[in-house]
């Protein structure tokens, strides 16, 4: 009888622990739902880049304002998630964070034509880039997935730019994506999801190469003088 009571007490403690974790998960789930809705708004705002060059700057400005709200949402997440339990609850915000890594990188490319660094993306979200011992942070794999998503969107932009008679942007996109592709080749990727996204990069590269090749055989590439003006900034990455 004594042993039975001890067992009941033990499992009652387990049940209390489970209920507490469920409460934390529910709070996190609701917060992520609130934060994630801004990604859809930002995505919709940025679609103007496929139709109008003049609309890109105002779209980026509006997207930046929405990112301020995203920053506030991540601040709330940081308060809720226990410092030592980042990976325990990560599935709730992983894909959302990957989307924001992609969107922030896209905005910075549209604004400056350069690669947003890991630190820059984390700063926009208001979180750290340090290891899990520091608590809530921007996981490197999530950042890299965001960059691969960026390449897919830029491949689409290269095609749509040509339909708007913009023959310079595909060249900028080509150089940028080729540089990124060279960088990814240096990595020994073991994360399965990241590996699948990386495997898709070669199709993005091929699509961009086809656009540039088509412009070349049609004689639509910019003159040599214009090509010199298209050179990327000395530093590809924003620090």
Annotated binding site for Mg(2+): 153
Q: Are 144 and 194 in contact (CB under 8 A)?
A: yes
Residue 121 has which token pair? 């993306």
Measured distance CA(113)–CA(100) in Å, rounded = 18
Measured distance CA(30)–CA(3) in Å, rounded = 41
Q: Are 113 and 173 in contact (CB under 8 A)?
A: no
Measured distance CA(155)–CA(171) in Å, rounded = 11
Measured distance CA(151)–CA(203) in Å, rounded = 10
| Size of the chain in residues | 239
Residue 159 has which token pair? 């095609």
DSSP state of 1: -
Cα angle 61-107-52, degrees, rounded to a multiple of 5: 70
Residue 112 has which token pair? 């400056």
Annotated binding-site members: 153
Measured distance CA(41)–CA(202) in Å, rounded = 29
């Amino acid at each position: 009888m004594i042993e039975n009571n001890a067992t009941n007490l033990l499992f009652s403690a387990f049940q209390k622990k489970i209920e507490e974790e469920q409460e934390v998960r529910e709070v996190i789930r609701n917060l992520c739902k609130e934060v994630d809705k801004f990604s859809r708004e930002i995505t919709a705002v940025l679609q103007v880049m496929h139709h109008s060059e003049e609309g890109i700057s105002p779209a980026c400005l509006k997207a930046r304002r929405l990112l301020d709200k995203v920053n506030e949402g991540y601040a709330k997440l940081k308060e809720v998630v226990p410092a030592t339990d980042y990976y325990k609850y990560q599935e709730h915000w992983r894909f959302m964070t990957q989307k924001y890594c992609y969107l922030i990188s896209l905005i910075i490319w549209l604004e400056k034509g350069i690669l947003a660094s890991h630190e820059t993306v984390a700063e926009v979200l208001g979180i750290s880039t340090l290891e899990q011992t520091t608590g809530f942070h921007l996981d490197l794999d999530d950042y890299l997935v965001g960059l691969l998503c960026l390449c897919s969107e830029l491949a689409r932009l290269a095609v749509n730019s040509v339909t708007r008679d913009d023959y310079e942007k595909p060249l900028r996109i080509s150089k940028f994506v080729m540089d990124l592709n060279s960088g990814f080749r240096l990595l020994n990727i073991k994360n399965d999801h990241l590996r699948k996204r990386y495997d898709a990069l070669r199709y993005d590269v091929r699509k961009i190469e086809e656009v540039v090749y088509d412009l070349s055989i049609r004689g639509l590439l910019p003159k040599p003088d214009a090509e010199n003006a298209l050179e990327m900034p000395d530093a590809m990455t924003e620090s």
